[in-house]
Chain A
C-alpha cells in the first residue's frame, strides 16, 4: 500500500472541497458578507493547506491498484465529511460538534436528513455549502477528480470500480472514463436545466440553484423549513418531481435517451420497472388517501402522493406533505420504496431497483428449476445473461442490507427510540433517503434524537453510500497488509 500516492489523491479531493467552500464564500459575499463568510474562508484555507501539503513531496505518477483505490475512495469520503464539518462548527448556532458531523455526512452521502430546526435562519453562504456537499457527494468526490486528474491516465478504472455501483458497471458496459464523462455531462446538464425551470416556475435564483443541486444529487437539503411545501406551487413541485425521478435513473441511460441510442430509459428493463413501480405506488397511495378522505379530491391525493413517492423512491427526501398523517397502507408503501430506492448508476442510494429486479428474476428462475429440474435456466436482464457470481453478489448484498436494517433498528430501539422511528430512521439512513416516519417524518427532522443516535446514524449513511462492502473492507485489518 503506497500511502504517499493515497495522500496525494485524497489531497486533490480536499482541494476540490476547498474550491466549493470558496464558492460558498463568494455567495456569502454576494449577500453583503453574511455571518458565514469568515467560517467558509477559514475552512477553505485549512482544507486547501491539508489537500495541497502532500503535493509538495509526492510528484510521481504511477499505477493505482484496487486496494489503493478503495482506500482513496473511502478515505476521500471520510475526510470530505470531516472537513465538511468545519464551516458548520465555526459558524456555531445550532451546529454542535455532533450536529455538524451529522449534517456533513448527511450532505456528502446525499441523505439530506438534517438536525437543524430553523434552516431559514442560516446565512446564504452556509445554505449554499450544504447544497454543495450534496452536489459534490452526489457525483462522487472521486468520480469528480477522475476528470480533473490527467495524471491518472489509464489507471482511472481502478478508482471508478469502487465509486460506481458494481451493478451499474456490469449492466452498462462502457469504459470507465466514458462513464465518468457521461456522469458529469448529464449531472451538470440536469442541474442547469432544473435551475432554469425552477426559476421560470417562480423560485428565486438562489433557491433554484440550491434546490437543483439537491435534487440532481438526490439529496434533499432545502433552503426552507417546510421544504418544497413552502412554495405550495404545482409547477415547482412538478419540476422537482420530474428531476427527482430522472436523477434516480442510470445516467448512462439518460444520456442514451437524449443522444437517441437504442439502449435508453424506455428499453431498459430496470428503468421501466423503476418508473412503473413509482407510478403504481403513487396511484395506490392516492386511492388510499382519497378513500380515507385525507385529501378533498383525487387530484390532490395524486399530487401529494406522487411527489412523496418520487421523493422517497429516488432518495431525494423533499416534502410537500406530512407522511405521518397518511393511512397505514400509504406508510407501508412509502417504507417499501425507501428500501428499494432507485436504479444503479444514478446518485441514489439504497438497495437499488436493479437488485430487486434481479432478485425477482432469481426467484422466478428458482421456481422454474423446481418445475423443470433438468432445464438450463439463465437469468437475463436486457438480454444480457447475468453470471452466477453477479447474481450471488446481488443476493448477498440484499441479505447484508436487511441484516444492517435489523441491526440499526435494534441499536436505535435500545437507545430509546420508538419502533417506527427506529426502523424508518435506519432505512432512511442506510438508503440515504433522508426522511422516515414517526419522529423523523417528512415534515420533521432529526433534531430531537439523542446525541448517540445522531452519531450512529451517519455511520449507517456512510455504509449505505459506499455500498456497505466498500467501507467494511476499508476497516478490515488483514486487507491493509
Chain B
C-alpha cells in the first residue's frame, strides 16, 4: 500500500468516526427531545384536564345550589352543559392516562357524585334540600374535588419518575458520543505517531544525511522500516549518489 492510500485510509477512519459520532449524537438527542416533548405535553394535558374538570364541577355545583334554593324539580340547561363538559374531560383523562390507577379514585368519586345527585328527589321545601346539600351532597362533592386534586398532583410523582428516566436517557445518549470521542482521540494520537515515525522522521533523516554527504562527504546511510515511496526515494537518492560517484571516477 502506498503513502497516499495509507494516509487516505487513516483520514477515512477518523472521518468515519466523526461522522458516526455526529449521526449517533443527532439520533440520540432527537430521540431525547421527542421524549422530553412527550413528557411535557403529558404534564400540560394533565393540568388542563384537571382545570376543565374542576371548572365544570364548580358550574354543576352552582346549578345544584340554584335548584336547592329554588326547589325546582328539573336541572337547568346550564347544569347539563357543565356535566357534559365534566364527562368529556373525564373521558379524555381516562383515555390518555397510561396508568389507570391514577384515575381510579376519580372515577369512583364521580360515580358516587352522579349517584347522589341523580337519585335525589328534590322536595319543594328549601330546608329539606339544604340539609341534603350540606350533608350527603357536600360529602360526595368534597370527595370529587379532592379526587380531581389528587389526579392533578398524581402527575407530579409520574413527573419525578419520568425525569429520572430522562436523566438516564440523557446519560445513555451522551455515552456513545463520549466513547467515540475517546476512541477518536486515541486514533488521532496513533495516526500522528505513525505518520511521524514512517514519513516525517525518515524524510528529516534523509535531508540530514544528504546535507552531510554534500557538505562533508559523509556516506548517505538512512535506516528505514517500511518499503513504501519514502523508502524508494531513499533508494533513488542512494542510486543518484552512486551514479555521481561513478561518473566522477570515470
**A-to-B contact residues, CB < 8 Å:** 3-4, 7, 42, 46, 49-50, 53-54, 56-60, 86, 89-90, 92
Q: Does B171 contact A60, Cβ atoms closer than 8 Å?
A: no
Q: A3-B193, A90-B175 are in contact. Are A57 and B183 (CB under 8 A)?
A: no
- The tally of residues in B whose CB lies under 8 Å from a CB in A reads 26
Q: A4-B225, A92-B171 are in contact. Are A54 and B190 (CB under 8 A)?
A: yes
Interface-forming stretch among B9-17, B102-110, B147-155? B9-17
Picked from B10, B180, B197, the residue with its CB within 8 Å of the CB of A4 is B197
Q: Does A56 contact B180, Cβ atoms closer than 8 Å?
A: no
Residues of B within 8 Å of A53, CB to CB, are 10, 13, 187, 190-191
Q: Does A49 contact B13, Cβ atoms closer than 8 Å?
A: yes
Measured CA separation A92–B194 after assembly (Å): 35
Interface centre among A7, A56, A90, A92 (most CB of B within 10 A): A56
Determine how close the nearest CB of chain B comes to the CB of A285; give it in whole angstroms: 44
| Listed A/B pairs (9) with beta-carbon separation below 8 Å | A49-B13, A50-B187, A53-B191, A56-B9, A57-B10, A58-B194, A89-B175, A90-B172, A92-B171
Residues of A within 8 Å of B9, CB to CB, are 56
Residues of B within 8 Å of A46, CB to CB, are 179-180, 183
Picked from B6, B10, B183, B227, the residue with its CB within 8 Å of the CB of A50 is B183
Q: Does B10 contact A56, Cβ atoms closer than 8 Å?
A: yes
Interface residues of B in 100-125 (CB under 8 A from A): none
Determine how close the nearest CB of chain B comes to the CB of A137; give it in whole angstroms: 21
- Tell me if B29 counts as interface (CB < 8 A to partner A): no
Q: A57-B194, A60-B226 are in contact. Are A90 and B179 (CB under 8 A)?
A: yes
Residues of A within 8 Å of B95, CB to CB, are none
Q: Does A56 contact B1, Cβ atoms closer than 8 Å?
A: yes
Determine how close the nearest CB of chain A comes to the CB of B169; give it in whole angstroms: 9
Measured CA separation A117–B227 after assembly (Å): 55
Residues of B within 8 Å of A4, CB to CB, are 193-194, 197-198, 225
- Tell me if B186 counts as interface (CB < 8 A to partner A): yes
Q: Does A86 contact B179, Cβ atoms closer than 8 Å?
A: yes
Picked from B183, B193, B226, the residue with its CB within 8 Å of the CB of A49 is B183
Q: Which residue on A lies nearest to B186, using beta carbons?
A: A50
Determine how close the nearest CB of chain A comes to the CB of B23; give it in whole angstroms: 12
Q: Which residue on B lies nearest to A57, using beta carbons?
A: B194
Interface centre among B16, B179, B198 (most CB of A within 10 A): B179
Picked from A54, A57, A92, the residue with its CB within 8 Å of the CB of B175 is A92
Q: Does B194 contact A90, Cβ atoms closer than 8 Å?
A: no
Determine how close the nearest CB of chain B comes to the CB of A404; give it in whole angstroms: 30
Determine how close the nearest CB of chain B comes to the CB of A128; give it in whole angstroms: 21
Determine how close the nearest CB of chain B comes to the CB of A433; give it in whole angstroms: 31
Q: How many A-B Cβ pairs are below 8 Å?
A: 57
Q: Which residue on B lies nearest to A83, using beta carbons?
A: B183
Residues of A within 8 Å of B226, CB to CB, are 57, 59-60
Q: Which residue on A lies nearest to B187, using beta carbons?
A: A53
Q: Which residue on B lies nearest to A79, using beta carbons?
A: B186
Q: Does A57 contact B179, Cβ atoms closer than 8 Å?
A: no
- Tell me if B37 counts as interface (CB < 8 A to partner A): no
Residues of B within 8 Å of A50, CB to CB, are 183, 186-187
Q: Which residue on A lies nearest to B8, using beta carbons?
A: A56
One digit per residue, 1 when the CB lies within 8 angstroms of any chain A CB and 0 when it does not, for chain B 1-30 equals: 100001001100100110000000000000
Q: Does A56 contact B175, Cβ atoms closer than 8 Å?
A: no
Q: A7-B190, A49-B13, A59-B226 are in contact. Are A92 and B183 (CB under 8 A)?
A: no
Interface residues of B in 211-250 (CB under 8 A from A): 225-227
Q: Which residue on B lies nearest to A7, using beta carbons?
A: B190
Determine how close the nearest CB of chain A comes to the CB of B213; give it in whole angstroms: 26
Q: Does B175 contact A49, Cβ atoms closer than 8 Å?
A: no
- Tell me if B168 counts as interface (CB < 8 A to partner A): yes
Measured CA separation A44–B47 after assembly (Å): 46
- Tell me if B43 counts as interface (CB < 8 A to partner A): no
Determine how close the nearest CB of chain B comes to the CB of A164; give it in whole angstroms: 29
Measured CA separation A57–B227 after assembly (Å): 11
Residues of A within 8 Å of B180, CB to CB, are 46
- Tell me if B176 counts as interface (CB < 8 A to partner A): yes
Picked from A3, A56, A90, the residue with its CB within 8 Å of the CB of B176 is A90
Given contacts A53-B13, A53-B191, 10 further A-B contacts (CB under 8 A): A4-B197, A4-B198, A49-B16, A50-B183, A56-B6, A56-B10, A59-B226, A89-B179, A92-B168, A92-B172
Residues of B within 8 Å of A90, CB to CB, are 172, 175-176, 179
Picked from A49, A58, A89, the residue with its CB within 8 Å of the CB of B17 is A49
Measured CA separation A235–B197 after assembly (Å): 59
Residues of B within 8 Å of A89, CB to CB, are 175, 179
One digit per residue, 1 when the CB lies within 8 angstroms of any chain A CB and 0 when it does not, for chain B 162-176 equals: 000000100110011
Residues of A within 8 Å of B168, CB to CB, are 92
Residues of A within 8 Å of B17, CB to CB, are 49
Residues of A within 8 Å of B10, CB to CB, are 53, 56-57
Determine how close the nearest CB of chain B comes to the CB of A355; give it in whole angstroms: 38
Measured CA separation A7–B187 after assembly (Å): 11
Q: Does B176 contact A57, Cβ atoms closer than 8 Å?
A: no
Measured CA separation A53–B13 after assembly (Å): 8
Residues of B within 8 Å of A7, CB to CB, are 190, 193-194
Measured CA separation A54–B186 after assembly (Å): 11
Measured CA separation A127–B197 after assembly (Å): 41
Measured CA separation A4–B193 after assembly (Å): 9
Q: Does A60 contact B1, Cβ atoms closer than 8 Å?
A: no
Q: Which residue on B lies nearest to A52, using beta carbons?
A: B13
Measured CA separation A68–B93 after assembly (Å): 69
Measured CA separation A86–B175 after assembly (Å): 9
Across the A-B interface, the 4 shortest Cβ-Cβ residue pairs:
A57-B194, A92-B172, A46-B183, A60-B225
Measured CA separation A57–B6 after assembly (Å): 7
Residues of A within 8 Å of B179, CB to CB, are 46, 86, 89-90
Interface residues of B in 21-67 (CB under 8 A from A): none
Determine how close the nearest CB of chain A comes to the CB of B138; give it in whole angstroms: 50
Q: Which residue on A lies nearest to B226, using beta carbons?
A: A59
Determine how close the nearest CB of chain A comes to the CB of B165; give it in whole angstroms: 11
Residues of B within 8 Å of A86, CB to CB, are 179
